[in-house]
Amino acid sequence: MRAWIVAAGIFASVGTALAQQGPAPVGPLQEKLKAVEADPAALKSAIEAGRKAASFCFNCHGENGFSKIPEVPNLAGQNPAYLLEQIRKFGSGERKDQFMQGLIKVLKDDERVQIALFFGNSPVKPGVPADAAVVPKGKELFTKLCVRCHGDTARGDSTIPRLASQQIPYLVTSITRYRDGTGVRNNQLMSIATASLKNEDIKAIANYLTQLP
């Protein structure tokens, strides 16, 4: 009896996990983003408009999305559909950060799309590992546990974030939060994928990821 309950629980959680990974984010703004991306002239003007609308964001996320503050993520080169989805999540409170939640509320729909396209099309600058000796271990763990979703090059896709070239402290904080189920961000797939990681493993993965282009 007890074994059956446990088994049912595992199936139920796998079911939810798959549902959460789901297809790429949907909604009118995601449709708009795709339409603009498919039209080179519209894309060019959206990126220009995004550059202006994003100038306030540069205060923390850095000029063109290359952050100089350790706990603030780089947005340069991040996948536009992922950025737009995170903006939506801050707006709805599904993802928590006091400052970002307040700020995102003032952005108009068009600005959200433009800003996501602007940052997503900004060039990436890889970081320097804080501890080069742990990079091979980070690569090994990443290949075993993370590649199937984030990809060989760690660039993700429309639902999955780029991790390559991200800042080490932000990576460490984010991975640790998913592992520990703090509720700041909820994603069951990420909780499952990170459950077995020790703190040194997380550091090794972050040192590996930051130097990827």
The residues binding ligand HEC (CB under 6 A) are 21, 54, 56-57, 59-61, 71-73, 75, 78, 83, 86-87, 97, 99-100, 103, 107, 115, 145-146, 148-150, 159-161, 163, 171, 174-175, 185, 187, 189-190, 193-194, 205
The residue (of 45 and 196) whose beta carbon lies closer to ligand HEC is: 196
The residue (of 87 and 124) whose beta carbon lies closer to ligand HEC is: 87
Three-state SS for the chain is: CHHHHHHHHHHHHHHHHHHHHCCCCCCHHHHHHHHHHCCHHHHHHHHHHHHHHCCCCHHHHCHHHCCCCCCCCCCCCCCHHHHHHHHHHHHHCCCCCHHHHHHHHCCCHHHHHHHHHHHHCCCCCCCCCCCHHHHHHHHHHHHHHCHHHHCCCCCCCCCCCCCCCCCHHHHHHHHHHHHHCCCCCCCHHHHHHHCCCCHHHHHHHHHHHHCCC
CB of 173 to ligand HEC, least distance (A): 6
The residue (of 45 and 92) whose beta carbon lies closer to ligand HEC is: 92
CB of 163 to ligand HEC, least distance (A): 5
The residue (of 33 and 190) whose beta carbon lies closer to ligand HEC is: 190
CB of 40 to ligand HEC, least distance (A): 23
* Cα separation, 17 vs 186, whole angstroms: 11
The residue (of 9 and 102) whose beta carbon lies closer to ligand HEC is: 102
CB of 16 to ligand HEC, least distance (A): 12
CB of 160 to ligand HEC, least distance (A): 5
The residue (of 63 and 71) whose beta carbon lies closer to ligand HEC is: 71
CB of 3 to ligand HEC, least distance (A): 26
* Cα separation, 128 vs 73, whole angstroms: 15
